[in-house]
Structure 1
């Protein structure tokens, strides 16, 4: 079965006949089945497929933001529902902000808590991500979301040791800029614009989560970092539903260190420069 393609996997996991297929990316194929399309993803490993399936289920359980249904997984393959795409819309963005606030409010057992049934050794994109529970966000964030990727970047030669020291100084003082303590939120965890689908039904759908318990401002900072249509409306809807603590704008760069360092590990030096620029604003304060 390991040599089979996405159409065979889709047919077996759904029990429906294949009509056609379309490759969307190198790892993702939309398969038309008798009764409608599904999306088949080669997650790269069984652990990654398990983590993503558990994450989608955990997000869906909150009954807030829409996510594709999981039809099944097998080895590295994951089969989910297909989302007919529409166009970004201001009204949908406002609604999405409210729904994202409700998702975060569904909570998690701890910072770093994996979704029920999900592995502790998970992934964000193609990068490993450890879900190690903690009860103090500043310490947990530095230890398990910033420093692991900083070390990998230094080991790969993408960041120099002297540059890494700037980010390490920020990690030593995270609590100085963290803002008021908040309970663990239920995060999507990889909330860049490519994982935000504007559905033809007028709703926003989220795909490809790296779900875990974390600080709600991390999801929002990632939306801002990589661009999101109608972001001002998303934030407006969010603030209406669940106002953020004063000083959020000053904390954005702190929350962006995590995704910037992940991208440094995956994609190289240009993201290292962005991570350093964000860190220097805090290190010099």
Structure 2
């Protein structure tokens, strides 16, 4: 999500350019720092180095600005496949040293490990945001019931837990002219199709190239395109909680789609 706290640029004494982010809530910077380090540990996609963090502030390398290219997109696709393949201990597992009470943008996100993807996705990635939207008056009882019925139809999956970025919209993919970098994760163990579905939802430069390279290295299970709406429920509901009615119709349409 785009709204992740106050951000400013600075230069360290040794000349390195950094970004200083102020967390929007207690624990937000710790969760982001743990997520960045976990993604970087896979060694597959460029991730800004975490220099320091405390209760209120996070300091990371600044990514130089550049233009996306087809070659960089293909490298990113292969790197993303490797990142997902690096795995996680369980669905819902937080990064090492990451808090269970985490965030996606300014919305709360619980990282509670589970063995079964379908039940975990319903319980921790769909229904909590339906309840928040209902409590805010964005959804009425009948609309909330639609999501509850949809959750009973989430298909089982044989996919192992993947190491997800968790908030993979276009604004969190930075291009330096040679590579694509990932920032602002809501990292956790999940289904790899969820990251890909979020890129479909919000768009990404050279998306076809990214997906082609990804699938060449890590083929997707049959029917993945029909499951895009299912995996988009999570980001659409988060956006409904954060931004209100403008995303509610899309979330409802995704629920009806399966």
TM-score range for the pair, normalised by the shorter chain length:
over 0.9
Paired residue for 1:21?
Answer: none
Paired residue for 2:129?
Answer: 149
Judged with a 3 Å threshold, the aligned counterparts in structure 2 of structure 1 residues 26 and 113 are, in CA distance, closer, same or farther, namely: closer
Structure 2 residue 220 is matched with structure 1 residue 240: no
Q: Which of 53, 56, 71 is residue 76 of structure 1 equivalent to?
A: 56
Task: Please give the alpha-carbon distance, in whole angstroms, between the structure 2 residues aligned to 1:57 and 1:29.
Answer: 21
Q: Residue 45 of structure 1: CA displacement?
A: 2.7
User: Do the aligned residues in 1 keep the contact of 2:91 with 2:189 (CA within 8 Å)?
Assistant: yes
User: Do the aligned residues in 1 keep the contact of 2:5 with 2:21 (CA within 8 Å)?
Assistant: no
| Equivalence map 1:106-255=2 (5 Å) | 106-175=86-155, 178=156, 180-200=157-177, 202-255=178-231
TM-score by length of 1: 0.87
Paired residue for 1:58?
Answer: 38
Secondary structure of 1:30's counterpart equals: strand
RMSD, aligned α-carbons: 1.1
Task: Please give the alpha-carbon distance, in whole angstroms, between the structure 2 residues aligned to 1:185 and 1:75.
Answer: 28
1:97-139 deviation line (CA, Å, top 9, x unaligned) = 0000000000000000000000000000000000011111000
Task: Please give the alpha-carbon distance, in whole angstroms, between the structure 2 residues aligned to 1:181 and 1:27.
Answer: 40
Task: Please give the alpha-carbon distance, in whole angstroms, between the structure 1 residues aligned to 2:65 and 2:141.
Answer: 44
Structure 2 residue 7 is matched with structure 1 residue 31: no
- Look at both structures and tell me which one has the larger radius of gyration over its CA atoms: 1
1:74-114 deviation line (CA, Å, top 9, x unaligned) = 22100000000110111111110000000000000000000
Task: Please give the alpha-carbon distance, in whole angstroms, between the structure 1 residues aligned to 2:121 and 2:57.
Answer: 31
User: Do the aligned residues in 2 keep the contact of 1:46 with 1:74 (CA within 8 Å)?
Assistant: no
Secondary structure of 1:71's counterpart equals: strand
Task: Please give the alpha-carbon distance, in whole angstroms, between the structure 1 residues aligned to 2:35 and 2:57.
Answer: 15
User: Do the aligned residues in 1 keep the contact of 2:165 with 2:188 (CA within 8 Å)?
Assistant: yes
- Structure 1, unmatched stretches of 5+, are 1-24
**Where does structure 1 differ by over 2 angstroms across 4 or more consecutive aligned residues?**
none
Q: Residue 26 of structure 1: CA displacement?
A: 6.3
